[in-house]
Chain A
Amino acid sequence: MGSSVSKAALEVTTDELVEPDSKHLADITHYVNTSNMGVKRLAEVLFEKSKNSSWVVVFKALITVHHVMVHGNERFIRYLASRSSLFTLHNFLDNSVIEGYAMSIFIRRYSRYLNEKSLAYRLISYDVTKTKRGLDGFMRNMNTKDLLNTLPVIQTQFDALLGFNANANELTNCIIRAAFMLLFKDSLRLFAVYNEGILNLLDKFFHMTKRQCNESLDIYIRFLAGTTKLEQILKTAEQVGIDQNNIPYLTQAPNSLLEALRQHLASLDEKNEIFPPYSLQHSLIQSISKNSLMKASSRQNLFSGHKPVKARQRHGAILENSLDDSLASLVESTRALIN
């Protein structure tokens, strides 16, 4: 079986300027789904091919990896995530042919996305593009803490996908078009999960602490920027001939939502200034109980009517000094806790 996988992998990564054969890709997917051995052998062959000097071979190797990640069993991406090193194509350049220079740019971007996809799996232990969606979906029912940890990972992967940034007139050959098709499918699934995470985030926003609101607002702003760039990919998909039924109609969320979130965060800032958080309250209350004012008032009967005026004045001075000291200590402790 290992040899079959190797053979299929070699046949799908030839230097012919044709897209990877769908039959070979199906065979490879089948091998990965049925055997663990096929995973390791396949990965080794494909990584070896990615070190080729020809942009065609390299691009085909990357497309094969991506295809198996999307259509194959999760054990393949799990194996890639467990590797210490992935594709190191950030300096790849094939200037032996005319289109080599342009394609090298897209190879660098494509390899970066595949690395981020593997890294995301390593960070959150699952492929978000294959999770359940909907009201009872995975992202819709996540708690705040996990949401704030997961959404940035999704954002990074999505930003790497958007970084491919190919216009319709740059998709000049079938190999880059095959890569674009896989990226387009991934973008829809990734954005769908991303969107559900944002929905969950907005549901929880007004129940969050100030720090969480701050993080959530940053996440939402990045989401808006990502939505705008995704529109470009969808436009490109339409231009290269992808069926309209397979392209969602994307519109931006109203700006007033962002303003409402900002205002809520601003109101939390104001409330924090007027009334400190509970931990600060507690420390202030403790500092009040410990200061000399309480000791002075307990020892001296300041409200006795029998004391002569002079004695009362003396006690008043003591009280005044205690008040000054306690106020100073309160201010200092407040500053310390805020800082």
Chain B
Amino acid sequence: MLGALGGCEQNGQMASRWPGLSSSMRRSLQDHQPLEESDGPQPAASHPEAPSGGLGSLCRQFQRRLPLRAVSLNLGAGPSWKRLETPEPEQQHLQAAARSAKSALGAVSQRIQESCQSGTKWLVETQVKARRRKRETPKGGSPPARSLSQRSARLSGAGPARSSLGCRSSSQMGPRAHPLRRSRREAAFRSPYSSTEPLCSPSESDSDLEPVGAGIQHLRKLSQELDEVIAAEESTDMMVSLLRD
């Protein structure tokens, strides 16, 4: 069809054929639009039709098909972006240690407040326990002293382990020890609240219980002896008064 159109013969003859051809050419142009778009812009010579509508549409096509410019992303390295990144291992450890220390101190202070507020309740409970213990003991015996000494033996057994743990933490753990574990342990040993006992409780260390138990046992024996002597004396006085009467 194009070849047919390319031949310029007589204008008159062509003109008579052109209106029909032009319409058909338009139709074919419309039909071939997608092909032309994919194949790229065709040279203007291939479109001998000079009317503005066809060229205009071609121009519009070319404009539409212009490549996109690169868009500059306005993304700065702000703090919010940094948080999404994984922190360095050292910072991770420090953060974890700080979090654990904070939670420990908070829990401990809460516990201390509760213990001081419930100090009376604790004292009552211990007195009840002490009385229960006394009631359970048979007459003339001294199980409380024995239980006290047993408790002291248990505590003395537990005491060195605790101190050795402390020694291990400071001397046996070398410089390559896990920093998180070391910081936690040091914080625990430095803290005055490292003991699980409430502050209002008696500070019965293992070194205090044995002499206290022995001393109480001694005084109990003395009390028994005095009672026996007084009873004997009263019976003697009674006999003397009866004899006199």
Point out residues on A near B: beta carbons under 8 Å. 22-23, 26, 133-135, 185, 188-189, 191-192, 195-196, 198-199, 202-203, 205-207, 245-251, 253-254, 256-257, 259-261, 263-264, 267-268, 271, 274-275, 277-278, 281, 305
Contacts and interface: CB of A to CB of B under 8 A. Distances in A.
Interface in B57-87: 79
A264 B216 contact: no
A25 B179 CA distance: 87
Contacts of A275: 112, 192, 199
B230 A192 contact: yes
Contacts, number: 110
Contacts of B209: 260
B151 interface: no
Interface in B193-245: 199, 202-205, 207-212, 214-216, 218-220, 222-223, 225-230, 232-233, 236, 241, 244
Interface of B: 79, 112-113, 116-117, 119, 123, 126-127, 130, 134, 139, 192, 199, 202-205, 207-212, 214-216, 218-220, 222-223, 225-230, 232-233, 236, 241, 244
Contacts of B229: 188, 245-248
B192 A274 contact: yes
B189 to A, nearest CB: 14
B192 A135 contact: no
Contact of B244 (A22, A191, A203, A246): A22
CB-based closest 5 A-B pairs? A257-B215, A206-B202, A256-B211, A278-B116, A192-B226
Contacts of A205: 202
19 contacts: A192-B227, A195-B223, A195-B226, A199-B220, A202-B215, A203-B216, A206-B208, A206-B212, A248-B228, A257-B212, A257-B214, A260-B215, A261-B212, A263-B207, A264-B208, A271-B192, A271-B203, A278-B113, A278-B119
Given A206-B203, A207-B126, A199 B216 contact: yes
B225 A249 contact: yes
Given A206-B203, A207-B123, A271-B199, A133 B215 contact: no
Say whether chain A's binding surface is mostly helix, strand, loop, or mixed: helix
Contacts of B119: 278
A257 B211 contact: yes
A192 B218 contact: no
A248 B226 contact: yes
B219 A199 contact: yes
B232 A245 contact: yes
A254 B79 CA distance: 69
A256 B127 CA distance: 25
B219 A198 contact: yes
B219 A254 contact: no
A59 to B, nearest CB: 22
Nearest to B134: A135
A272 to B, nearest CB: 10
Contacts of A195: 219, 222-223, 226
A199 B216 CA distance: 7
A189 B199 contact: no
Contacts of B117: 278
Nearest to A208: B202
A251 B227 contact: no
Nearest to A143: B127
A203 B145 CA distance: 11
Contact of B227 (A134, A199, A250, A254): A134
Given A202-B212, A264-B208, A271-B199, A250 B222 contact: yes
A118 to B, nearest CB: 22
A257 B152 CA distance: 14
A22 B244 CA distance: 9
Given A191-B226, A195-B222, A198-B219, A281 B211 contact: no
